[in-house]
């Protein structure tokens, strides 16, 4: 089938979604709740329910889901054990605005599994918790500036929405590239931009700004731009240079957390930061984020020297979901990770072979629980390399997969869950084989 035929087929079976999208746009700005969802082809679909690895739209079409709500659903949709726990808590109240025992029970579980977690605190989203981490680093060091890397995403706050997805042209002009002021963005003078896997770019910033840098923040695997692993020794360099300069090392584990391993990216790579942020999988689909950190930093929150607040922080519904999710992930020493990795890796390698078989340039990166499929001929080392990928062709492939009952994210990232079975992987690879005809 051609791309046009695929599009026609998807449109024909998703009329209910289109009708709802049109209605929604008349009341909800843009008809979607977050800007990124608008890019869906042929239009954003509307969903009725999800269970395990599958999600079903309002027209009754069922898809094997590799979006997984953009990452949180590490156990798949509505796992029975978590749903039952949430249902029981619903009877006891949704939020107290006061202390309850789930707060320390989940904190104790997090202390056990996160290497840098002497203490933790909670918020509701990744965006918020990154701000807590940056503030804490400023408070402890008495400095303002921070280093981030090109292409790394740390939420939508002005301070960090810098050099997120710069164009080739913007990158050539150098410096930090904020979202244009016309979009409401207030540029941050405090952000310094380095290049992933480029030691010199980091060393240079420390040399140019001695005694000025409060923190260095990164995704331990660059999941938001191509699932690019740190090269051997790169995270260790970040650890060394931050320690030497009295700068806080922050790992943003919103994606890598409880996905690469039960111990996050820091456990997976064996480098312990001063502070680490978690969200997505931490709440298993409920709004929860976590800051975990070393005692000397977290004491600033404990003693009220750095402000951390939020009406819904630590609410019992989100913490119930976290407790049940972490219990499943940690059972029998985290045995579920073997399954998550082996099935995800079979999928990653299978997809790469299928595309390769059509003589289309292809590369994959990352690993079983979260990986990237890119239509380009060599792996990326840093964000700039990812601009070479053929995104139009990838989008066509995604549309053909949707027609085959496989749902993927628009940017090339694939999430897998504990709920994805060997049969799901087989069905997905067979569907990909058929969908690949649009690549030629």
Ligand X SMILES: Cc1ncc(COP(=O)(O)O)c(C=O)c1O
Residue whose C-beta lies closest to ligand X: 126
Q: Taking contact as CB under 6 A, which single stretch among the options 136-144, 148-156, 184-192, 305-313 is the one that binds ligand X?
A: 148-156
> Smallest gap, in angstroms, from Cβ of residue 265 to ligand X?
10
Q: Which of 57, 66, 148, 252 is catalytic?
A: 252
Active-site residue (options: 148, 280, 394, 411): 280
Q: What are phi and psi of 374, to 5 degrees?
A: -125, 135
Least separation in angstroms between CB 252 and ligand X: 4
**The binder of ligand X chosen from 20, 148, 154, 259 (CB under 6 A):** 154
From the list 363, 341, 337, 369, the residue with the least C-alpha distance to 351 is 363
Structure tokens, 88: 């029981």
Taking the C-alpha atoms of residue 162 and residue 319, their distance in angstroms, rounded to an integer, is 32
- What character string, x for contact with ligand X (CB under 6 A) and - otherwise, covers 230-259? ----------------------x-xx----
Nearest to 408 by CA among 48, 45, 11: 45
Please give the residues from 379 up to 418 whose contact with ligand X meets the rule CB under 6 A: none
DSSP-derived pairing of the beta strands 213-218 and 145-149: parallel
How many binding residues for ligand X (CB under 6 A)? Answer: 13
The contact mask relative to ligand X for 92-131 (x = CB under 6 A, - = no) is ---------------------------------xxx--x-
The Cα-based distances of 17 to 6, 279, 381 in angstroms read 17, 29, 39
13 is catalytic: no
Site mask for ligand X (CB under 6 A), range 178-217, x = bound: ----------------------------------------
d(CA 254, CA 87): 26
155, 267, 284, 369: residue in contact with ligand X (rule CB under 6 A): 155
Active site residue 305: no
Q: Are 148 and 218 in contact (CB under 8 A)?
A: yes
- Pick between residue 31 and residue 71 the one whose CB is nearest to ligand X: 71
Q: State the DSSP code for 437.
A: G
Say which DSSP state 187 is in: -
Write out the H or E segment, with its range, that includes residue 146.
Answer: strand 145-149
- Choose between 70 and 104: whose C-beta lies nearer to ligand X: 70
Q: Is 348 in the site for ligand X (CB under 6 A)?
A: no
Q: Catalytic: 252?
A: yes
- Using the rule CB under 6 A, is 224 a contact of ligand X? yes
User: Do residues 11 and 42 touch, judged by C-beta distance below 8 A?
Assistant: yes
Taking the complex as a whole, how short is the minimal distance between the CB of residue 124 and ligand X, in angstroms?
8
Query: ∠ CA 426-354-387 to the nearest 5 degrees?
Result: 120
Distance of CA 238 to the CA centre of its chain: 21
Cβ-based nearer residue to ligand X, 125 or 372 = 125
- In terms of CB distance, is 37 or 100 closer to ligand X? 37
Three-state DSSP at 429 gives: helix
Please say which residue, 6 or 154, places its beta carbon nearer to ligand X. 154
Token pair belonging to 440: 């030629």
- Cα distances from 90 to residues 140, 141, 174, 258, 433, in angstroms, run 39, 42, 51, 25, 44
Catalytic residue of the set 21, 153, 383, 415: 153
Q: Which residues are catalytic?
A: 153, 252, 280
- Binding-site ranges for ligand X (CB under 6 A): 125-127, 130, 153-155, 219, 224, 252, 254-255, 279
């Amino acid at each position: 089938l051609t791309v046009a035929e695929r599009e026609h087929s998807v449109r024909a079976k998703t009329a209910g979604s289109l009708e709802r999208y049109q209605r929604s746009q008349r009341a909800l700005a843009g008809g979607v709740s977050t800007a990124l969802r608008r890019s869906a082809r042929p239009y954003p679909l509307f969903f009725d329910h999800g269970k395990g690895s599958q999600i079903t739209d309002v027209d009754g079409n069922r898809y094997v889901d590799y979006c997984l709500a953009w990452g949180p659903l590490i156990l798949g949709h509505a796992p029975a054990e978590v749903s039952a726990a949430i249902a029981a808590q619903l009877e006891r109240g949704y939020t107290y605005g006061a202390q309850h025992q789930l707060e320390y029970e989940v904190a104790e579980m997090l202390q056990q599994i996160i290497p840098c977690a002497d203490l933790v605190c909670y918020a509701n989203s990744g965006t918020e918790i990154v701000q807590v981490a940056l503030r804490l680093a400023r408070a402890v060091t008495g400095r303002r500036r921070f280093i981030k890397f090109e292409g790394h995403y740390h939420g939508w706050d002005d301070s960090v929405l810098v050099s997120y997805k710069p164009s080739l042209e913007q990158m050539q002009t150098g410096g930090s590239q904020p979202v244009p002021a016309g979009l409401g963005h207030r540029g941050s003078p405090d952000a310094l931009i380095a290049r992933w896997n480029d030691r010199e770019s980091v060393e240079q910033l420390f040399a140019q700004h001695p005694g000025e840098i409060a923190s260095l923040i990164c995704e331990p695997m660059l999941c938001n731009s191509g699932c690019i692993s740190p090269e051997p020794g790169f995270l260790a360099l970040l650890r060394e240079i931050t320690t030497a300069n009295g700068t806080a090392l922050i790992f943003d584990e919103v994606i890598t957390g409880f996905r690469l391993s039960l111990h996050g990216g820091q456990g997976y790579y064996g480098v312990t930061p001063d502070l680490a942020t978690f969200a997505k999988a931490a709440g298993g689909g409920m709004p929860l984020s976590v800051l975990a950190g070393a005692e000397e930093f977290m004491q600033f929150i404990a003693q009220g020297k750095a402000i951390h607040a939020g009406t819904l922080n630590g609410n019992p519904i989100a913490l119930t979901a976290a407790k049940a999710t972490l219990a499943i992930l940690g059972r029998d020493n985290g045995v579920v990770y073997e399954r998550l990795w082996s099935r995800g890796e079979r999928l990653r390698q299978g997809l790469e072979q299928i595309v390769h078989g059509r003589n289309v340039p292809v590369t994959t990166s990352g690993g079983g629980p979260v990986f990237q499929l890119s239509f380009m001929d060599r792996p990326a080392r840093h964000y700039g390399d990812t601009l070479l990928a053929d995104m139009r062709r990838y989008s066509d492939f995604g549309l053909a997969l949707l027609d085959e009952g496989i749902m993927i994210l628009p940017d090339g990232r694939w999430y897998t869950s504990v709920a994805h079975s060997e049969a799901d992987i087989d069905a997905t690879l067979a569907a990909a084989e058929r969908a690949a005809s649009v690549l030629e």
